[in-house]
Structure 1
Amino acid sequence: CGDQRTKSTSVLYQFPSKTMNTTSCEEISFDFPKKFLPPVYILVFIVGLAANGWGLKSLWHNWKKLGDVNVFVLNLGLADILYLLTLPFLMVYYFNGRKWIFGDVFCKVTRFCFNLNLYCSIGFLTCISVYRYLAIVHPMRAMGRLTVSRSVIISVMVWILVSIQSLPDTFFPKTPSNMTEKCFDTTSDEYVEDYLKYSFSWTLIGFGIPSLITLGCYGHVIAFLCCKDNTDELLKQRSLKLLIILILLFLICYIPYHVFKNLNLWSRVLFKQRICQKWTNGIYIAHRISRGLVSLNSALNPLVYLHVNEDISARLRQLLQRFRQAAIQLSINTQTLVTLIQNGGGYLQVEAAE
């Protein structure tokens, strides 16, 4: 799982610290990911594939109406699908007792797809935020500039930039030197110091700066809409809902992952230097939980579709209305059938008595 400090969860290590005091290392619960991650991956795979597939299908049917923001929504869905297709291999990995049977190259491909999905999602959410900010707060300046062709160019640039940021990760070893059946999401302990530096800069560029831009844009949009007296109430509600969805995505998926990932790498560096901390095991478990939570972004991103694309929202409302009508009709038919059976039973009893 990107951590090879010990092979057992029942061993306490003792290292001499720099002050010559003896420090006991708390045991690491390496069995936790095998129990927690597979159910999460199964849920994300089923829900994410269904939701993103339906969303992309709706965009395909409305291709002629494809607007500037919808180009980013389309790319957001494609990034999610790319990651979701790698989840079955990770399920096999954890169900098989963390034994990777698909080779080192495909291990790096799987991890690369995860990083590509994560940071492309953040990038396209940032693009959507900037476009909506310009369209609402500066409509005159944005008029004629927010075109489909420019959206396509920006999308290609996002894919390229994220690929460049993620590419160095593939050069770090994903298996320890003494084991070939592992697939680390970071790297082995031999290179953990260098990976921590890379991860910290990656977090700052790939997550920190886009997050500030995204939240800043929507914060300004909400403030702008609330200050205007003649604001469309529907537009205000949609913008507020989208801001809440983005805040939830960042609070649930993105922030915990980046915080605990870097803390876990730091704890591994300290462990390698024979410095043990009481919080090491807690950070490891928190990182594994955040690893599961960050994969939820592929299942939660379709919520953005509903508040960006009006056609998809309308189609969903129609679909829900049909389900509701079908459920009501089924209930009526069931009650009618029960009544007929009861009446028929009484009639048969009367005839039998005669």
Structure 2
Amino acid sequence: MPYFSYVQYILYISTHISTTMNNTTCNKISFEFKTKFLPPVLSCVFVVSLVANGWGLKSLLHNWKKLGSVNVFVLNLGLADVLYLLTVPFLVVYYSMEDKWVFGTTFCKITRFCFNLNLYGTIGFLTCISVYRYLAIVHPMTELGRITAKRSVVVSVMVWLFVAAQSIPDMFYPKSRVNGDPQCYDTTRATFVEDYLYYSLGWTLIGFLIPFLIMLGCYGHVIVILCSKNISDKVLKQNCLKLLFILILLFSVCYIPFHLLKNLNLYSRVLERRKICHEWSERVYVANQISRALVCLNCALNPLVYLHGDIVAKFRQLLHQIRNTFMRLSII
């Protein structure tokens, strides 16, 4: 009899928990933080990025005849930033109106598409720059003359096509809810969120993680070469190491939090749809909005990193000095 009583008790508890879980409705996440945080941040990013990119593109156009391999990628970085900046004022209006999108569904998808082109286009061109620097520093003799501006243009076109191919599927996901005020989701509505999570994970792997590992490999090898070789120019070594460190730091701050928190936020939405509630869901949502501000900040940082003080011209001079140093070492 005690055994049957125990079994009945277990069945009662299981049924009670199941019923409780099915009847549980997760607390709705407050969107107040986003509507107060993003508009001023995006406005500041827009002003700073517009000035920095305008100055950077003007500097490149002024030295158009001297356009080199690295400059081609820097130019495309600037174009990717400008493409996104054109959509920022509409996003500021959207978030200021508490998520009310008044510019139409088609333009909503175009806006999100431009954001993705900027995001993954920037990652792609940063990767190209890192590979170029790797070849120019680690293999200066074998690659001398092979890396031309024309080949850089071809590579840039391939990067744009590859990034567009990754971003186009995102446009087929619904960006607004069925009822109520029109919205413009950066991902998709709850009905398709589970499918979108798988797409986002694949996108993160191909568009972010693999390029990031390539960058780490290139820069890691460059640092080893600069530290192990007998290069007498200490200023040359220090400047190169500082530049590589800054690039890796900016890449990590802007992109790692965004991709991590974006997918984690999508996962929390999947759990919420399955009636599985967690207290950390709202904290993840807030952190995800902060990471979106960080990744947008990249538009302002790109020109400052690559173009401040005509850094492109300085980098070309830096490569020339490195090649001369390796030639002297090979003769000895």
TM range (shorter): 0.7 to 0.9
SS in 2 for 1:246: helix
Q: Cα distance 1:140–1:100, how it changes in 2: closer, same or farther (>3 A)?
A: same
Q: Separation in 1 of the partners of 2:137 and 2:210?
A: 22
Kindly state the Cα deviation for residue 90 of structure 1 after the two structures are TM-superposed: 0.4
Q: Separation in 1 of the partners of 2:237 and 2:70?
A: 18
Q: Separation in 1 of the partners of 2:173 and 2:311?
A: 44
Counterparts of 1:191-270 in structure 2, within 5 Å, are 191-270=192-271
Q: Is the 8 A contact 1:83 1:117 kept in 2?
A: yes
Q: Separation in 2 of the partners of 1:290 and 1:131?
A: 29
Amino acid at match of 1:249: L
Q: Cα distance 1:20–1:232, how it changes in 2: closer, same or farther (>3 A)?
A: farther
Q: Is the 8 A contact 2:306 2:312 kept in 1?
A: no
* Alignment partner of 1:48 is 2:39: no
Amino acid at match of 2:190: D
Q: Deviations over 1:285-341 (max 9, x none)?
A: 111111111100100111331479645669xxxxxxxxxxxxxxxxxxxxxxxxxxx
Q: Deviations over 1:125-157 (max 9, x none)?
A: 000000000000011121121011100000000
2:8 is aligned to none
* Alignment partner of 1:140 is 2:135: no
1:71 is aligned to 72
Q: Separation in 1 of the partners of 2:18 and 2:232?
A: 65
Q: Cα distance 1:307–1:42, how it changes in 2: closer, same or farther (>3 A)?
A: closer
Q: Is the 8 A contact 2:258 2:291 kept in 1?
A: yes
Q: Is the 8 A contact 1:222 1:236 kept in 2?
A: no
SS in 2 for 1:274: coil
Q: Separation in 1 of the partners of 2:62 and 2:212?
A: 32
TM-score (norm 2): 0.85
SS in 1 for 2:125: helix
Kindly state the Cα deviation for residue 178 of structure 1 after the two structures are TM-superposed: 1.1
Q: Separation in 2 of the partners of 1:231 and 1:266?
A: 52
Q: Separation in 2 of the partners of 1:292 and 1:310?
A: 26
Q: Deviations over 1:141-195 (max 9, x none)?
A: 2112101110000000000000000000000000011135100000000110110
Kindly state the Cα deviation for residue 18 of structure 1 after the two structures are TM-superposed: 7.1
Kindly state the Cα deviation for residue 240 of structure 1 after the two structures are TM-superposed: 1.5
Q: Cα distance 1:164–1:233, how it changes in 2: closer, same or farther (>3 A)?
A: same
SS in 1 for 2:142: helix
SS in 2 for 1:100: coil
2:93 is aligned to 92
Q: State the identity %.
A: 64
Q: Separation in 2 of the partners of 1:189 and 1:209?
A: 29
Q: Pairwise CA RMSD of aligned residues?
A: 2.0
Counterparts of 1:106-121 in structure 2, within 5 Å, are 106-121=107-122
Q: Separation in 1 of the partners of 2:282 and 2:64?
A: 50
2:153 is aligned to 152
Q: Is the 8 A contact 1:55 1:312 kept in 2?
A: no
Counterparts of 1:1-354 in structure 2, within 5 Å, are 19-22=18-21, 25-179=26-180, 181-306=182-307, 310=311
Q: Deviations over 1:193-212 (max 9, x none)?
A: 11000000000000000000
TM-score (norm 1): 0.80
Q: Cα distance 1:17–1:258, how it changes in 2: closer, same or farther (>3 A)?
A: farther
Q: Separation in 2 of the partners of 1:71 and 1:241?
A: 23
Amino acid at match of 1:66: L
Amino acid at match of 1:163: A
Q: Is the 8 A contact 2:70 2:312 kept in 1?
A: no
Kindly state the Cα deviation for residue 27 of structure 1 after the two structures are TM-superposed: 4.6
Count, aligned residues:
299
Q: Is the 8 A contact 1:77 1:302 kept in 2?
A: yes
Q: Separation in 2 of the partners of 1:235 and 1:160?
A: 36
Kindly state the Cα deviation for residue 33 of structure 1 after the two structures are TM-superposed: 0.4
Q: Separation in 1 of the partners of 2:238 and 2:160?
A: 31
Q: Separation in 1 of the partners of 2:17 and 2:86?
A: 47
Kindly state the Cα deviation for residue 95 of structure 1 after the two structures are TM-superposed: 1.4
2:7 is aligned to none
Q: Cα distance 1:255–1:41, how it changes in 2: closer, same or farther (>3 A)?
A: same
Note the residue ranges of structure 2 that are not aligned, 5 or more in a row. Answer: 1-14, 316-332
Q: Is the 8 A contact 1:306 1:313 kept in 2?
A: no
Superposed structure 1 runs of 4+ greater than 6 Å apart: none
Q: Separation in 1 of the partners of 2:212 and 2:25?
A: 39
Amino acid at match of 2:254: C
